[in-house]
A and B are shown apart, each in its own frame.
Chain A
């Protein structure tokens, strides 16, 4: 039996994007939480929890882009053309956020407040436009032949604005639970309060998207609610409820890593829900990943690298997190 290269590549890209969402999710979440944490010292601690790892986290986004170009060039060119404006905005947001990591500490005193604002603004912008792009992706694109034929603003809809806000909320939950794990004292207490507020908001957001999507898209409604699918997929919403409930429960007392792990699991469930809705389309509503596939010579060549190197990447990523394990406190290294 021949190796199903396209299928493997879809799984690799989905894995890369998932890694990006969860890892850069809590980095961006930290910027999103900035307006709720006014003290500079606290903000410095928040940034320092991710300073050694943010760059690696963001690299998964580059892998998503390059992997898509290598394995599904048609999807790469159509999706990125269709999502031109949200992607440019996301990139500009990521630029502001990324340089602010360095500039906040290297700037002249008078500029520091500006770069803190740029850090927060960049994080909000990047998160919102990622979410908006996701919403537009679910809604689908106008494609003729090998190219996008829609307008520059087709991505903009009430639904995509809603998913944009939804991603901001999701990242805020990841950020606040990450900081619950990585900080202590007053800052940690504040993060716990924030996480408690965000959890029900996010749950409501997930519920609304889960209703809105099938109401708008008859195919997606059929996918979820026809027999016997409904039985196969029912665990997803049930697990979302159970996880959210556990999350609220575990934020009581002396929480450490558990809320963060539960938040990650919640995001994973949302991600799998999306995959169920859209499979096997890589350019919704009509182009499947097989139709967008690169020549097998391209997929096979890149796959050799992916199969051998991604495990190594995961090993040294884990090692980096291990080196920088433990709580980050204010007493560490400010002068």
Chain B
């Protein structure tokens, strides 16, 4: 079997397109909620700094959202184009979940996005806030359905195999399968944490460039509060998710830990670093801490978990990859926790906006949430292999009958277009964020936003384009 057979090419194609895709919805989920909070604060406190921040981040949101939509379109068709046997076999279960995602989330987001971005002068402030809320709700509903589908593939429940396909027998069990609540919690927190780091980096960068103003301070402060609050909760959620995986997908945990075999009565060490070798069937150059593996995974001094040796060679996930992607994710998580704590310390000392080393670190941590999300997803998806539906259908049975030529050509086209288009888009986003929020809202109260005659025509000008002499109070 060559390394670039059609199966491997189809997997690379899916991995490549879904990895690019997940960046955008993760930030979209976080930013939509952030925008809803900003607009609520603007309506409650009428302080123009919130309106300025809303306009600034809605521009970033618009670009992010567009890239999420078009890269997501590819995903919704790829199940059929590249994984047709999976779709035929399991589409009766995952199809309705995706249909619900479209019906309850995609239309909601898309329907109210126009009003949110372009409707400042077309509808009143209450209705505009409602539109923002609907978009934010849409992003969360969307995440819920797609994670129901993914978690079902990890821990399938509520189905029967009748004839040559899977038939849903209990939708409640399908949706609320054992890994669903943990995956949802972990991913939801990850989206918020990644967005807080993203917003925080923009704030830190602008402070470093000497743009110390209430807008930049407000967004940086909000972001650091958010990191402080979510990073520790995320660690707990991750631990719960890991224990759930140990119960339902023990091979994945064994691969993550690089744990091959147990001696009778002996505890499991935690391998800090090492090189799991799939051929040699052991973890080379392992640096271990005795008992810690038992302690973390079984919450006992001498508890054992199943090793990779307990599973047939053709049912083991690739430990070399998931061992490292997991450690990357956890390492970044620890850094996020430290960032949140040092931010709190500096805030208490009154140096949050001035400590340059901290601001540099916060800038550098901007993409950390996204990288951690990618590392986490690679861990959970490669950790599910060789199954597409865990213990039911193998990935090799799921792939369509395309030739290696057709797949490599289309893969090349995807790579060229994605890097060109999304690479450029990300560079525009970075420039937008580096420029920082302007003081642009002339309106001093929400009611003044409601002027029917003057309509901004594009997200960039979603901000009111008149600039009266009197600029908002206090800003």
Q: Tell me the A residues contacting B by CB distance below 8 Å.
A: 44, 48, 51-53, 55-56, 58-59, 61-63, 65-71, 73-74, 76-81, 83-85, 87-88, 91-92, 94-96, 98-99, 101-103, 105-108, 111, 146-149, 152, 294-295, 297-298, 301-302, 305-306, 309-310, 313, 316-317, 320, 323-324, 328, 332-335
Contacts and interface: CB of A to CB of B under 8 A. Distances in A.
Interface in B51-74: 59, 62-63, 65-67, 69-74
A310 B111 CA distance: 12
Which 4 residue pairs are nearest across A and B when measured between Cβ atoms?
Answer: A73-B91, A52-B114, A80-B80, A77-B84
Contacts of B65: 55
B102 A94 contact: no
A55 B114 contact: yes
Contact of B465 (A53, A91, A147, A335): A335
Contact of B461 (A52, A88, A334): A334
A309 B454 CA distance: 33
B459 interface: yes
Nearest to A106: B428
Residue among B67, B76, B432 facing the most chain A CB atoms (10 A cut-off): B76
A299 to B, nearest CB: 8
Contact of B92 (A51, A73, A87): A73
B16 to A, nearest CB: 13
Contacts of A53: 114
B431 to A, nearest CB: 8
B378 interface: no
B300 interface: no
Interface string B81-96: 1011111100111111
Given A59-B107, A96-B417, A107 B117 contact: no
B103 A305 contact: yes
Contact of B95 (A71, A323, A324): A71
22 contacts: A52-B115, A55-B110, A65-B77, A67-B99, A68-B95, A70-B95, A80-B81, A80-B84, A85-B406, A87-B81, A94-B70, A94-B73, A103-B425, A146-B85, A147-B400, A152-B405, A294-B95, A297-B92, A317-B107, A320-B112, A324-B122, A333-B455
A107 to B, nearest CB: 7
Given A67-B99, A99-B66, A313-B103, A295 B91 contact: no
A298 B168 contact: yes
Given A71-B95, A73-B92, A66 B84 contact: no
B402 to A, nearest CB: 6
A55 B91 contact: no
Residue among A52, A66, A79, A152 facing the most chain B CB atoms (10 A cut-off): A66
Given A95-B417, A106-B428, A147 B95 contact: no
B222 interface: no
B243 interface: no
Nearest to B103: A309
A77 B425 CA distance: 32
A69 B98 CA distance: 8
A60 B123 CA distance: 25
Contact of B96 (A51, A102, A302): A302
Interface string B161-190: 010110111010000000000000000000
Contacts of B114: 51-53, 55-56, 320, 323-324
Interface in B375-413: 400-403, 405-406, 410, 413
A302 B88 contact: no
Interface of B: 59, 62-63, 65-67, 69-74, 76-77, 79-81, 83-88, 91-96, 98-104, 106-115, 117-119, 122-123, 162, 164-165, 167-169, 171, 400-403, 405-406, 410, 413-414, 417, 421-422, 424-425, 428, 431-432, 454-461, 465
B115 A66 contact: no
Contact of A59 (B106, B117, B169): B106
A198 to B, nearest CB: 27
B410 A77 contact: no
B122 to A, nearest CB: 5
A63 B458 CA distance: 27
Nearest to B86: A77
Given A61-B73, A148-B401, A106 B99 contact: no
Residue among A79, A80, A95, A101 facing the most chain B CB atoms (10 A cut-off): A95
B168 to A, nearest CB: 5
Given A52-B114, A297-B169, A320-B114, A302 B457 contact: no
Contacts of B422: 99
B63 to A, nearest CB: 5
A179 to B, nearest CB: 15
Nearest to A115: B424
Given A56-B114, A301-B96, 16 more contacts: A52-B114, A55-B109, A65-B76, A71-B95, A73-B88, A81-B84, A81-B400, A99-B70, A99-B422, A103-B425, A106-B432, A111-B424, A147-B85, A306-B103, A313-B107, A324-B122
B66 A102 contact: yes
A66 B421 contact: no
Contacts of A91: 73-74, 77
Contacts of B59: 106
Contacts of B86: 77
B101 A66 contact: yes
Contact of B99 (A77, A305, A328): A305
A272 to B, nearest CB: 25
A280 to B, nearest CB: 20
A53 to B, nearest CB: 6
Contacts of A77: 79-80, 83-88, 91, 400
A320 B115 contact: yes
Contact of A51 (B73, B118, B167): B118
B88 A51 contact: no
